[in-house]
């Protein structure tokens, strides 16, 4: 049983963490709208009801804030996608679910994905982003690889490419679809659905 001091400490930490989440969720809207480079702590504060000092009270700096935001979102994203893909019982069903899942994920919150790619690009320049980006990339790669292995189980065959290559190709399709979708293309989502459905079997030849 924890001491009462420990309980107090815990609840204080929880409260701090809750508030962080609250601020992050509010900030995420502005961040997703304007992107990393164009968003200042002041802009975020103006668009919410918080003061700019408060953000600095809960987050060490801009980098701390944005990585917290994106990490939070991507976790939810992976979890959601896993659900969409879990039910397939034949290879074709799984391939279709893969395409549908990616298209649905993209359609659901394109601006969030845009922010993710923004953050990943920034990490190529800003050392401070690298670790968090690598971790998110890793979780996405795992997500894709679970999909590939599920397909392998259903077909009784073995994939002929590495996990990172599989992730890279799906990611390329997804990123291009996002780009076209945001540019107003009507067919971007359907193309993503088709091309990612077709990609899955290609990984086994």
CA atoms in the 13 A half-sphere facing the CB of 130:
5
Among 38, 42, 80, 149, binds a second copy (CB under 8 A): 38
Q: How far is the CB of 27 from a second copy (least distance, A)?
A: 16
CA-CA-CA-CA dihedral for 38, 42, 48, 52, to nearest 10: 150
Among 1, 5, 60, 205, binds a second copy (CB under 8 A): 205
Site pattern 68..107 for a second copy (x: CB under 8 A): ----------------------------------------
Q: How far is the CB of 111 from DNA (least distance, A)?
A: 19
The reply on whether position 52 binds DNA by CB under 7 A is yes
**Which of 20-28, 65-73, 97-105, 194-202 is the region at the interface with a second copy (rule: CB under 8 A)?**
194-202
Q: Which of residues 56-115 bind DNA (CB under 7 A)?
A: 56-58, 61-62
* Dihedral, 48, 53, 121, 83 alpha carbons, nearest 10: -50
Q: Is 21 in the site for DNA (CB under 7 A)?
A: no
Q: How far apart are CA 192 and CA 170, in angstroms?
A: 9
Instruction: Tell which one of 91, 167, 193, 197 touches a second copy (CB under 8 A).
Output: 167
Cβ closer to DNA: 7 or 86? Answer: 7
- What CA–CA distance (Å, rounded) separates 190 from 183? 15
Determine the Cα–Cα distance for residues 51 and 44; give it in Å rounded to an integer.
Answer: 9
Which CB sits closer to DNA, 43 or 176? Answer: 43
Instruction: Please list, residue by residue across 103-112, b when 16 or more beta carbons sit within 10 angstroms of its beta carbon and e when fewer do.
Output: bebbeeebbb
Torsion of CA 171, 114, 98, 149, to 10 degrees: 40
Number of H helices, E strands in the chain: 9, 0
Residues that bind a second copy in the complex, under the rule CB under 8 A = 34-38, 114, 117-118, 120-122, 124-125, 130, 134, 160-162, 164-165, 167-173, 175-179, 182-183, 191, 195, 198-199, 201-203, 205
């Amino acid at each position: 049983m924890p001491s009462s001091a420990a309980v107090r400490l815990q609840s204080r930490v929880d409260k701090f963490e809750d508030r962080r989440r609250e601020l992050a969720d509010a900030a995420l809207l502005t961040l997703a709208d304007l992107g990393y480079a164009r968003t200042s702590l002041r802009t975020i504060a103006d668009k919410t009801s918080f003061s700019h000092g408060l953000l600095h009270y809960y987050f060490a700096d801009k980098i701390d804030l944005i990585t917290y935001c994106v990490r939070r979102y991507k976790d939810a994203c992976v979890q959601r996608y896993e659900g969409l893909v879990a039910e397939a019982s034949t290879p074709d069903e799984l391939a279709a679910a893969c395409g549908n899942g990616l298209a649905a994920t993209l359609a659901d919150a394109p601006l969030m994905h845009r922010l993710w790619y923004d953050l990943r690009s920034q990490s190529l320049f800003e050392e401070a982003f690298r670790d968090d980006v690598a971790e998110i990339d890793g979780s996405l790669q795992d997500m894709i690889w679970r999909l590939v292995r599920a397909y392998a189980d259903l077909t009784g065959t073995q994939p002929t490419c590495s996990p990172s290559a599989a992730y890279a190709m799906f990611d390329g399709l997804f990123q291009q679809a996002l780009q076209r979708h945001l540019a107003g293309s009507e067919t971007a989502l359907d193309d993503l659905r088709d091309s990612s459905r077709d990609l899955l079997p290609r990984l086994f030849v």
